[in-house]
Structure 1
């Protein structure tokens, strides 16, 4: 049944969302404080994106999520069409990830992740679905595999990889070939470790040699043909201390300095030197590295507060999954919660050097219209499930 019952809303989740958005606008302004003349007032755009997203959020809370299950194939098909449409537009910085619209640039991969969570939840929650059948396993793999390939060839490998834990969590919970999934997970982890080690000891390119790079004796393995050079550089920076700190490793070095220099209390709002002086590039400070800006200006206390907000938000998503009235709502909320966790964990881990640098933004904090709106779409679906939850006696 459509409608919004104020008393049945998850006000803890809603309050957390408002706090994160408020801090996002404030620190996006800080990240552009000295470069507003070059890039414009991005904080105003971020506020506009947030207001637009909250409008969609409210509409989805009003809308009965159970109807979405009946529309899941249409939603999934629409996401695939948008993912294919990006290849009709010119590349931007060597990638075809966006669809230019009047006053807005759409990134379909963000909507694709939500569509996969919806479709998997709808497919596996069907009353006649047998989780032990091989057909169920392969259909689920195909549902996640098609957008995975389309996003990966844009190329946007980091975003495509988030589909793996979303799919794994939903399939494991639904009981789809759990033994096979765990074996597959082990194989993927082993392959990832092997790839990192291969890249660490890989021979340099001819271009690197021509530019004066002196290879180490340990760099003896032939070139890996799978990943592109910029992707390998990100991994190489992670597995080799001090590798190319003036170029590929610059962002990693400056982000670690920014986080560490904040100390306990931080340097104060609008007083972060790594950000203000441009050591942390302004092109990424407001988006992928917004956590560095926050950590430098608010210190450990501010960073811990942000992490607490995310813990509350993710905890509420898991609570919604447990309290759902039906299996579709439970699986969809679980998938969305895992998606948000991946973004939070990977983004913060990369800024402190625990994981390689990737392009995953921080939910409700990083600058970007598509990501802000899509995140609020996902949370609106979760709130819709919660509003129609089972009431415990």
Structure 2
């Protein structure tokens, strides 16, 4: 990602306000998508080795582990914010927060972090809503990012240009009604329909029934990864943390993407993994699922051995 920032426009063009892709003739790649998988692996390795080294934790070892987690996540977050890609940086922070919760750190330390993080978040939102012009300088946000937050808080107070994407996504989602119009009868023109707003296409094509099936399939996938992680934890902490990390990755992508479509989350450029178009996100998702599948194979082999 550091190479991406210093690369010339000829191989790293700025697209949708962000310099996030290597673009060559017939080929494009988004490094941050692959970095998510490597970050999950790094978290899993560091936390599992730490717990093996310090089986009995105390506040010193917990703070030491917390510093390790912070050092892992700070580099990709800073580099991604320089692109800028605020949505992807939030994905990394969410994954780090999940690993903090699952690492066994004392609840008092976690409570302090939660209260501090909530205070910072609400303060930032207050500055954006109250002083939108000042927030661009104080928080280092781009104008379009500030506008997205303002639209999220009060769409009725914004112009039609500011709420265009949100209005179109809701129109497409609601126009499908119960069973949808079918894939060949789409009527609502929606920008970025194949990537960020693919769930609106699902709603227009297959209606409420299709959307419910998609959400249920995501729930089923997350549930299976959760159970695999819990079942694997007693013989491979590393494998279990891989499952939990990839679970958190899919969850935050699905929650944020679907949430921005229905208006409970601000609009960001986060794709709906396993459904949105995009070579880098699809390839990184397949790599993550391959790692989870390997943990499942190890779990099956271990259970077969135990019952022989």
> SS at 1:105's partner residue?
strand
Give the alignment of 1:1-393 within 5 angstroms. Answer: 83-89=1-7, 90=9, 91-93=13-15, 94-101=17-24, 103-126=26-49, 127-129=52-54, 132=58, 133=61, 134-202=63-131, 225-226=138-139, 227-274=141-188, 278=189, 280-281=190-191, 284-324=192-232, 325-389=235-299, 390-391=302-303, 393=307
Structure 2 unpaired stretches of 5+: none
Cα offsets for 1:26-58 (capped at 9, x unmatched): xxxxxxxxxxxxxxxxxxxxxxxxxxxxxxxxx
CA distance in structure 1 between the aligned counterparts of 2:124 and 2:172, rounded to whole angstroms? 29
Cα offsets for 1:54-107 (capped at 9, x unmatched): xxxxxxxxxxxxxxxxxxxxxxxxxxxxx1111132241342211234532111
Aligned residues of 2:136 and 2:143 also touching (Cα < 8 A): no
Partner of 1:14: none
> SS at 1:100's partner residue?
strand
CA distance in structure 2 between the aligned counterparts of 1:238 and 1:270, rounded to whole angstroms? 31
Partner of 1:16: none
- Superposition deviation, residue 254 in structure 1: 0.9
Moved more, 290-299 or 314-323: 314-323
Aligned residues of 1:264 and 1:301 also touching (Cα < 8 A): yes
Change (3 A) 1:245 1:256: farther
CA distance in structure 1 between the aligned counterparts of 2:196 and 2:220, rounded to whole angstroms? 22
> SS at 1:285's partner residue?
coil
Q: Give TM-score, length-normalised by structure 2.
A: 0.88
- Superposition deviation, residue 113 in structure 1: 1.3
Aligned residues of 1:323 and 1:386 also touching (Cα < 8 A): no
Moved more, 364-373 or 177-186: 177-186
- Superposition deviation, residue 243 in structure 1: 3.7
> SS at 1:270's partner residue?
helix
- Superposition deviation, residue 245 in structure 1: 4.2
CA distance in structure 2 between the aligned counterparts of 1:124 and 1:321, rounded to whole angstroms? 15
- Superposition deviation, residue 173 in structure 1: 1.4
- Superposition deviation, residue 222 in structure 1: 7.3
CA distance in structure 1 between the aligned counterparts of 2:286 and 2:171, rounded to whole angstroms? 31
CA distance in structure 1 between the aligned counterparts of 2:280 and 2:107, rounded to whole angstroms? 34
- Superposition deviation, residue 336 in structure 1: 0.7
Moved more, 124-133 or 157-166: 124-133
Aligned residues of 2:179 and 2:209 also touching (Cα < 8 A): yes
Matched pairs, number:
289
Q: CA RMSD in A?
A: 1.9
Larger relative CO (CA 8 A, sep 6+): 1 or 2?
1
Change (3 A) 1:248 1:329: same
CA distance in structure 1 between the aligned counterparts of 2:260 and 2:40, rounded to whole angstroms? 25
- Superposition deviation, residue 176 in structure 1: 2.8
- Superposition deviation, residue 163 in structure 1: 1.2
Structure 1 unpaired stretches of 5+: 1-82, 206-220
Change (3 A) 1:222 1:102: closer
